[in-house]
Structure 1
Amino acid sequence: MKFRSFTLALWLATAGPALVPALLTTASAQQKQNITLEDIWQKGTFAAKSVPGFNWMNDGRFYSSLDEGSLVQHDVTTGQPVQTLVAATALQLPGQPQPLPVDGYSFNADEQQVLFSTATEPIYRRSSKSTFYIYNRQSKQLTPLSQAPGKQLYATFSPDGKRVAFVRDNNLFVTDLATMRETAVTTDGALNRIINGGTDWVYEEEFEFAQGFQWSPDSRYVAFYTFDESQVPEYNMQEWGALYPKDYRYKYPKAGEKNSVVSVSAYDVAAAKTTKLDVGPEQDQYIPRILWTQTPDLLSIRRMNRLQNKLEILHANAKTGQSQVVLTDTDKAYVEVNDDLRYLQGGKEFLFSSEKDGYRHLYLYTMGGKLVRQLTKGPWEITSIDGFDEKKGLVYYTSTEASPLQRHLYRVDLKGKGKTRLSEAGPGTNVVNMSADTRYYLNYRSDAGQPQVVSLRNGQDGKLVKTLEDNAKLRQKLTEYNLGKLEFINFKTAEGVELNASVLKPANFDASKKYPVLMYVYGGPGSQTVKDDAGGGIAFTNYLWHQLLAEQGYIIVSVDNRGTGARGAQFKKSTYANLGKLETDDQAASARYLATLPYVDKARIGIWGWSFGGYMTALALTKNADVFKMGISVAPVTNWRYYDTVYTERFLKTPQENPAGYDDNSPVQHADKLKGKLLLVHGTGDDNVHFQNSVAFTDAMIKANKDYQTLYYPNRNHGIYGGTTRLHLYRQMTDFVLKNL
């Protein structure tokens, strides 16, 4: 899992959306209940309600969802069902006693045909394979997508609804729905060698997509990726349980090693002809995005050099394969990839976001790459484009303009005028799900201390149409528990660096007493753990665990160090080529600042984190051993040479070019400095941050004759979950904190 996204992954592994308890009432804390680990990890005591299974339909007044196996249309203004689009009984195959247990669906363009997925098996974080069926709402027919053996991946209707493209066994196929004839677009796909129509592990993880093909808007072409990963080194994990452990081998390019050679082709469906598109002679490069423009036959390709400090937009002709560079974005450190690129109807202009003025903002260009104008500007950042009204020329986006800790929805026109804030004034974070026609949007609003409120709002002015879920019962439930209030502060370190932090004190806090402090850290590039949302910028389950510790007399503090996001490129990219140094300097400086507070016991400051935060914890306990009494390091990188090419080289260059950047801040190199109590946790089935990292660190500590404790979870991946796993893990972590801090 990508480091900066791990808080989200941890959140999604729980029962529901994140919530933060409200401020305690005046009733005494002694009369209230305490949170238990079972409340968090077994009972779902604090599970929030939302609007489940929400999928916008063509008419922005309606949405669809699966309801007990049936596909149902709802009126978005009332939330009530309007009609059953496909009844569960219609999904019963001849000779079968029960309807298909569908687990997902997608419509074709006119919503008259539906692709249903069944028996879905996850592969990695974004990939899965399923058995797909097509249901025709007019003929009432249910048909398997393929009669060939093997499950399918990424099944997608063509825009005209006449065909479906999918991947099986690393090959791309197209099925004609009129005849159900299946055509193999490629035939050379092979496990751990050639991938057609999908991505390899590192693209899926770090460029955040798994489906490697796209239909053209006119349904004439399918543009697709081919990954030749034959030269990429394999990583081998053992799966435990059987008499003889099973080997699991997959291609994983560690920093400095060979990547897949990536190409892009266009398949002409009618002519059954494939044309390879020109992405340049360099093979050691990345193609992190493809996107069809509004011009027939013209595909947009984004190309990056291996160091990722140069991004180019190419326009390629699907007929001839010829391409040209129309825009180049460079940076002294790195350029990040996102999904902000939008091509306008008429084929004359496109929208693009860049950090070239120090903050991520929106720019309008001609198709030839000439700048028309900058649409947004200021010492704040665009975080997402949420909608686009082509007719009125309006762009809807979320930004940090109000505060780096908050997120609000705005609208601006293509002339850069008429900027309007649509979300309500005040603190908090708004997450927006807008209909394609921008008539309405769902707004998920939360702020520290308050459960989320889900509301339907008008896309033109942001006015409330209907509150769909206010979690009133949960608000009342939370008043029954002995919970502290999350507060936000900022301070300057001895170096003069201003940092944002969150502080959670016990509900019965007494300023005349001395309290131990446990710091929670993530700290990776572009991340945030200090944010005015339901979880305070972290997974709600971690927030609840922090409340449990606060009940036991601990103060919990989280600090966003240099390198984190929402404060501009200079702050974020200050850690470039020396990952770990400034970050841990800031965490240690924060601990020293906390030690000066009259209610903090300076001899009892600990730290914990997961993934990049696990790395930070291990480094803090070694390089700053005199500051921290204890730490819990979960699934850490301990040597960046062990992590993947795309993520690591983006921030450190290659180990061949920058060996000191890899070695100077590796916990393995500083194991002999360890003084405090350390609990090291890892899953042996972690396909992302390999168990190898913890093995190397423990070996270094053994050589240095240092004491430590380890906790490993057989076959668990980077998230370390499943069954009672999380309950077990957090019980061990709780005991470790209580005994050692």
Structure 2
Amino acid sequence: MTGQLSFPRQHARTQRFTLGAPRGFTVSPDGSRVVFLRSRGGTDRANVLWVLDLDTGREYPAADPAVLLGGATEELSPEERARRERSREGSAGVVGYAVDGAAEWAAFALSGRLYVSELRSGTTRELDVPGPVADPRPSPDGLRVAYVTDGALRVVEADGSGDRVLAGPENATTTWGLAEFVAAEEMDRSRGFWWSPEGDALLAARVDDAPVSRWWIADPANPADAPAEVAYPAAGTPNAEVSLALLRLDGSRTDIAWDRERYPYLARVHWSAGGPPLLLVQARDQRSQVYLTVDTASGATSVLHADEDPKWLELFAGVPAWTPDGRLVRIADEGGARVVVVGDRALTGPQLHVQALLDVAEGELLVAASAGPEAEEPETGEIHVYRVSELGIERISEGLGRHSAVRSGAVTVLASASLDRPGTEVRVLRDGKQTAVVGSCADTPVLTARVRLTRAGARRIPCAVLLPTGYRDGDGPLPVLMDPYGGPHGPRVVAAHNAHLTSQWFADQGFAVVVADGRGTPHTSPDWEKAVHEDFAGATLDDQVEAVRALAGSYPLDLGRVAVRGWSYGGYLAALAVLRRPDVFHAAIAGAPVTDWRLYDTHYTERYLGLPEERPEVYDRNSLVTDDGLSQAAEQARPLMIIHGLADDNVVAAHTLRLSSALLAAGRPHEVLPLSGVTHMTPQEQVAENLLLLQVDFLKRSLGLG
């Protein structure tokens, strides 16, 4: 049935072909089991918790939401909806889980209720606790489960007895055990409590968002509904106050002390058997940060290492961490390269651009990395998995593509996406040899992306070019559609088939589609990423111009008909393109664009542009709506469609409304498409499908195509 669908409907119904694909892997320390999430089909939103027995090859469900809920509709609390929006989670059922130290037990929340699964037997039961439950996590010894409800951090015995509060909110603006908005949205820290290795205490974040400005997000389509109150820390305004305490199971509490005035951001917390608790805290301008160790008896902290950067310091997945013999593992920008450091020694050099730490074992690390600034033959859009030690570096992933891994002991789960096949292949390796494959239930796309990865211009900008299916040399030049994201942390030029499906569909409507990852996107070096410091509007737009002009010498691009589309940062870039460079770009679709960076959040915006009260000219120069921003817009008007979800609490609809007002005041025609009830994700099937169709119609009208 799915094969009969149009691509827009299939793309929407399958949530971009993510439904049915396995994810969220855990390997048991004894190497006998792999635990993961996967729905039963390519259009089934409800994830099931699965176990793969590596000794027998048997795969079985440990927790099926359809069985546990008895067919009832899943109910989500406002807090859980917000958590899923921060993580861009569009599926249902078991969307996340946590295991004990031996991976014998798993805990998860479903419809606001707490469940525990015995993973060897595949049996699951509900624990009768107050709800709605958020982020349940077993203790390492498997004897207890900690969880959050109504802003309180609670703990319950694994048999359901002895439920109690460890720390409760003092008032309506305080929570314990949850990540604040900017941590979840921008720091990739989605949790707010951490068990001790012995399971006798927890480190817990206390968040008070009383200082944070209140915004109100209304649904104009339903004027009888009260607006939703959102605590939103816009650039230059106060953040939530975040502190940390050690909570012991005997009820005692020790507050953790560090210079929170100088380092207000709690970016990372790590607690393992390799050493005392580790904290990574950042200054508000993110140009300095310190790694702290915690004295669990007194709550005092000591500086283990300090970093400084004249532009900003990045945060990375997996670090900081301890090696088993007690050395600090971190990722750092040193000597023009991004390297992994153990103790005081860098174990990688400029041949690699390290992206994340995947695992720490005795004598070696597992990292994900792309080609670095001094790689001999840098592959475009690839990420590989490497084994790193003091003896050298060994690549364990094979073939052109993007690879990631989860490892415990001798067992590695290696997930690989490539250009020549849809989806992701997941293989289980033991001592480097394949022992199992984790199957996917994801749908096969009804079209095939025909991607040509290349580099363009003097800067060697990573690009992907897609032509219509069946296009032949001699068919003549094609109207061009630039399809970028273009901003930090958002690579679009990747060696993975499914990432280019929508671009291929647009190409099949009669366009030559160009995706260009200019400066600011994560590719080969810190210098490339940090070239956008204080200069979103210049560097990212300049590189789109350079890329399309350079590629016209090798591909059939009609530079007299060039359009651009994008979402979020890509929406900002699209609007910027037709306002500042109408000589190059002839039409644009801007989805959920950031138009005034003063309206975006603190941790992201101030990292790149500084504080607005200290650098107002930087904000004006990069804005689309200020007098300075509009004065840089050329007089020649180009067709512009702006799309925005009115329920968006990340890039709020005020961005689009202010841009529309400014354009109207300047006499510049444009179109606005408001989406009632839609957030930043646009997960609704009909909305996602029709958005693609409406965009093609606008582009053809704007470029004068039949």
In the superposition, the TM-score normalised over structure 2's length comes to 0.86
Sequence identity (%): 25
Pick from 130, 144, 148 the counterpart of residue 163 of structure 1. Answer: 144
Judging changes above 3 Å, is the alpha-carbon distance between structure 1 residues 624 and 84 closer, same or farther for their aligned structure 2 residues?
Answer: closer
Q: Would you say 1:103 and 2:94 are equivalent positions?
A: yes
Alignment of 1:332-351 (within 5 A): 332-341=310-319, 343-344=321-322, 348-351=326-329
Q: Secondary structure at the match of 1:258?
A: coil
CA deviations 1:665-718 (Å, max 9, x no partner) are: 212232564521111000000000010000010000110011111111012101
2:549 aligned partner = 592
Q: Secondary structure at the match of 1:716?
A: coil
CA deviations 1:167-201 (Å, max 9, x no partner) are: 1111212224467223222233444x212111221
RMSD: 3.5
Pick from 439, 443, 452 the counterpart of residue 487 of structure 1. Answer: 452
Q: In the alignment, is the contact (CA less than 8 A) between 2:367 and 2:385 conserved in 1? A: yes
Q: Distance in 1 between matches of 2:356 and 2:570?
A: 25
Q: Structure 2 unaligned runs (5+)?
A: 41-46, 76-91, 372-377
Tell me how far 1:500 sits from its aligned partner. 1.8
Pick from 255, 277, 293 the counterpart of residue 276 of structure 1. Answer: 255
1:394 aligned partner = 364
Amino acid across the alignment from 2:450: K
Amino acid across the alignment from 1:132: L
Give the stretch that moved more between structures: 275-284 or 615-624. Answer: 275-284
Amino acid across the alignment from 2:113: T
Query: Which structure has the greater CA radius of gyration?
Result: 1
Pick from 402, 405, 412 the counterpart of residue 381 of structure 2. Answer: 405
1:523 aligned partner = 486
Q: In the alignment, is the contact (CA less than 8 A) between 1:240 and 1:246 conserved in 2? A: no
1:429 aligned partner = 402
1:253 aligned partner = 233
CA deviations 1:179-232 (Å, max 9, x no partner) are: 7223222233444x2121112212110112232010110112210111121111
1:12 aligned partner = none
Alignment of 1:655-666 (within 5 A): 655-666=612-623
CA deviations 1:25-68 (Å, max 9, x no partner) are: xxxxxxx9996433433489978974477543343232246798
2:375 aligned partner = none
2:597 aligned partner = 640
Q: Would you say 1:559 and 2:516 are equivalent positions?
A: yes
Q: Would you say 1:697 and 2:659 are equivalent positions?
A: yes
Tell me how far 1:736 sits from its aligned partner. 0.7
Tell me how far 1:329 sits from its aligned partner. 1.2
Alignment of 1:712-731 (within 5 A): 712-731=674-693
Pick from 18, 27, 51 the counterpart of residue 56 of structure 1. Answer: 27
In the superposition, the TM-score normalised over structure 1's length comes to 0.82
Q: Would you say 1:133 and 2:115 are equivalent positions?
A: yes
Tell me how far 1:580 sits from its aligned partner. 2.0
CA deviations 1:5-39 (Å, max 9, x no partner) are: xxxxxxxxxx9xxxxxxxxxxxxxxxx99964334
Alignment of 1:204-243 (within 5 A): 204-240=184-220, 242-243=222-223
Tell me how far 1:162 sits from its aligned partner. 2.3
Pick from 572, 576, 579 the counterpart of residue 615 of structure 1. Answer: 572
Q: In the alignment, is the contact (CA less than 8 A) between 1:171 and 1:189 conserved in 2? A: no
Q: Distance in 2 between matches of 1:332 and 1:88?
A: 49
2:466 aligned partner = 504
2:352 aligned partner = 380
Judging changes above 3 Å, is the alpha-carbon distance between structure 1 residues 500 and 37 closer, same or farther for their aligned structure 2 residues?
Answer: same
Q: In the alignment, is the contact (CA less than 8 A) between 1:518 and 1:606 conserved in 2? A: yes
Q: In the alignment, is the contact (CA less than 8 A) between 2:14 and 2:443 conserved in 1? A: no
Amino acid across the alignment from 1:517: V
Judging changes above 3 Å, is the alpha-carbon distance between structure 1 residues 262 and 510 closer, same or farther for their aligned structure 2 residues?
Answer: same
Alignment of 1:658-697 (within 5 A): 658-668=615-625, 669-670=629-630, 673=635, 675-697=637-659
Judging changes above 3 Å, is the alpha-carbon distance between structure 1 residues 468 and 166 closer, same or farther for their aligned structure 2 residues?
Answer: closer
Judging changes above 3 Å, is the alpha-carbon distance between structure 1 residues 39 and 295 closer, same or farther for their aligned structure 2 residues?
Answer: closer
Q: In the alignment, is the contact (CA less than 8 A) between 1:262 and 1:283 conserved in 2? A: no
Q: Distance in 2 between matches of 1:444 and 1:423?
A: 8
Task: Count residues in correspondence.
Answer: 666
CA deviations 1:49-100 (Å, max 9, x no partner) are: 744775433432322467989866433477533x77679999699xx99999
Amino acid across the alignment from 1:574: A
Tell me how far 1:257 sits from its aligned partner. 0.5
1:357 aligned partner = 335
Tell me how far 1:497 sits from its aligned partner. 2.6
1:38 aligned partner = 9
Judging changes above 3 Å, is the alpha-carbon distance between structure 1 residues 458 and 263 closer, same or farther for their aligned structure 2 residues?
Answer: same
Q: Distance in 2 between matches of 1:687 and 1:45?
A: 22
1:127 aligned partner = none
Q: Distance in 2 between matches of 1:254 and 1:99?
A: 33
Tell me how far 1:118 sits from its aligned partner. 2.1
Q: Distance in 1 between matches of 2:563 and 2:57?
A: 47
Q: Secondary structure at the match of 1:41?
A: helix
Q: Distance in 1 between matches of 2:169 and 2:24?
A: 38
